[in-house]
Amino acid sequence: MTKLRLAIVGAGPAGIYAADILLKTERSFDVSIDLFEHLPAPYGLVRYGVAPDHPRIKGVVNALRDVLDRGDIRIFGNVRFGEDITLDDLKKHYHAVIFSTGAVRDAELDIPGIDAGESYGAADFVSWYDGHPDVPRTWPLTAAHVGMIGNGNVALDAARVLAKHADDLLPTEIPDNVYEILKASPVTDVHVFGRRGPAQVKFTPLELRELGELNDVDMVVYDEDFDYDEASKDAIATNKQVKVIDRVLQKWRELPSANGAGGEASRRLHLHFWAKPVEVKKDADGNVASLVYERTKADGAGGVVGTGEMREIPLGQLYRAIGYFGSPLPGVPFDERHGVIPNHEGQVLAEDSNDILPGVYATGWIKRGPVGLIGHTKSDAMETVTHLVNDQGSWWRPEDPSEEAIDQLLTERGVAWTDLEGWHRLDSHEMSLGEAEGRERIKVVPRDEMIAVSRGE
């Protein structure tokens, strides 16, 4: 029987689902899968992109763990594609590769002043509070008034962490260094700006409701944002999710803190709709001083148009959360405009001719962009895997497809890779650290320490 040696680059949900689907697919060949991950731990954005106070969403880890713990997928963690292993290496030892490297950069916002000091991408902030090993251990939370541009789940996640009292995060797996910095934060007001109306937001009802459950934080919405047009009224009447969001917001309109009136909490989280960012003004030191935005209104076709009315809100710090963006991989075609690997239903296309590249595939956000929730990743992987199975005649013809060849290659290059057993060691170690503090887990943050624990060193 023909045997497929498959490499998957990226051990987040997209890569793990692709491996699982392929192993469960009816096929005329045997399969051996190696999963490469540049971090010492698997799970991608589920581990490093979901706020620590989201245990319900993190429940997906249990499903991913079940797949890996079957033992029919090998993991090579702490292996950097393009440095420790290259596309030429993969062609020498595998019949095909699936790239599932996701999208972890912040999309750019092209407005004057966005380069000011104290202006950040929310993705970097999320990586910091999630204990990503490749970002600084510190974060400059020095402002009382903070702005967040965006109306998606990442924007609300980051805004919630900024507004939430640090002690309320202690039951979670929040790293100690993050807790200490959040504890010292002087924040009093967090402002979230979205250029569309309340009926066009991109966040989910779950994310929104969690804002209203924050201890000692007043929710502030403004009556002027709820003059709905017919399209908004129709969305509320016909879409259950939009209806729930509107119901939550309408309740907040009745709070004492509505319209910026004085509430009783020590912190406030303001939601500004119909607010298109126009300019970030700087102070004498070049740091964020305020955000200028234009009031917008519905255009009757699902979009917005400017009204010409400009407003300005003083801020000491600003974040943009307008979407994630993929990163190019050495030797792999890349669409700079959309931040994805160019592909047809997961079959990677050559940059110059748009011809299908034999043996090269993509799945997840690096394939389709940062849209959809984790559940969408399964159907996405199915599409890619279907092509992979049907393309058997055009796979690569590797010189040495033996499983031991990769171990030898990485050893010769001095790569301190981690495997599934190593992940189990790190997982148990983090849970024991948490148990000692009465918590479920405390993440190990430094990469060197993660590797040492994983490798039993």
Residue 310 CB coordination number (10 Å): 12
- Collapsing DSSP to helix, strand or coil, 93 comes out as helix
pLDDT of residue 303: 84
CB-facing half-sphere around the CA of 434: CA atoms within 13 A: 18
Which carries the bigger pLDDT value, residue 74 or residue 373? 74
If pLDDT is split at 50, 70 and 90, which confidence band does 378 have?
Answer: confident
- Banded model confidence at residue 379, pLDDT cuts 50, 70, 90: confident
pTM above threshold 0.75: yes
Tens-place pLDDT, residues 35-79: 999 999 999 988 998 888 876 666 788 889 999 999 999 999 999
Inter-axis angle of helices 153-163 and 205-212, to 10 degrees?
A: 10
pLDDT band at 340 (very low <50, low <70, confident <90, very high): very high
Position 186 confidence tier, pLDDT thresholds 50, 70, 90: very high
The pLDDT assigned to 28 comes to 82
Confidence of residue 387 (pLDDT cuts 50, 70, 90): very high
Range name among 47-51, 234-238, 292-296, 332-336 with the lowest pLDDT average: 47-51
Q: What is the pLDDT of residues 243-299, one digit of tens each?
A: 999 999 999 999 999 998 878 999 999 999 999 999 999 999 999 999 999 999 998
Residue 58: predicted pLDDT: 64
Residue 9 is predicted with a pLDDT of 98
Contact between 43 and 88 under an 8 Å Cβ cutoff? The reply is: no
Cα–Cα dist 125/139, whole Å = 8
pLDDT digits (tens, 9 = 90+) for 134-156: 999 999 999 999 999 999 989 99
DSSP sequence for 381-427 = HHHHHHHHHHTGGGS---S---THHHHHHHHHTT---B-HHHHHHHH
pLDDT over 70 at 373, yes or no: no
Rounded Cα distance between 435 and 366, Å, is: 37
String of DSSP letters for 155-212: HHHHHHHHHS-GGGGTTTT--HHHHHHHHT----EEEEE-SS-GGG--S-HHHHHHHH
Separation CA 316–CA 283 (nearest Å): 9
Amino acid symbol at 279: E
Mean pLDDT of all residues in 154-174: 94
* Mean of all residue pLDDT scores within the chain: 93
pLDDT category at 429 given cuts 50, 70, 90 is very high
Q: What is the mean pLDDT of residues 348-352?
A: 91
Residue 239 has pLDDT above 90, yes or no: yes
CA-to-CA distance for 326 and 307, rounded, in angstroms?
33
Across 19-28, 114-123, 196-205, the highest mean pLDDT is recorded for: 114-123
Q: Report residue 320's pLDDT band, with 50, 70 and 90 as the boundaries.
A: very high
Predicted local distance difference test score (pLDDT) of residue 363 = 97
The CA distance from 405 to 93, in Å, is: 7
Q: Which domains does the chain have, with CATH numbers?
A: 3-104+326-417 (3.40.50.720), 105-324 (3.50.50.60)
Residue of 426, 457, 425, 419 whose CA lies nearest to 443: 426
Can you give the pLDDT at residue 57?
66
Residue 395 CA neighbour count, 13 Å, CB half: 26
Please compute the mean of the pLDDT values over residues 408-414 and round it to a whole number: 97
- Span 104-116, average pLDDT: 93
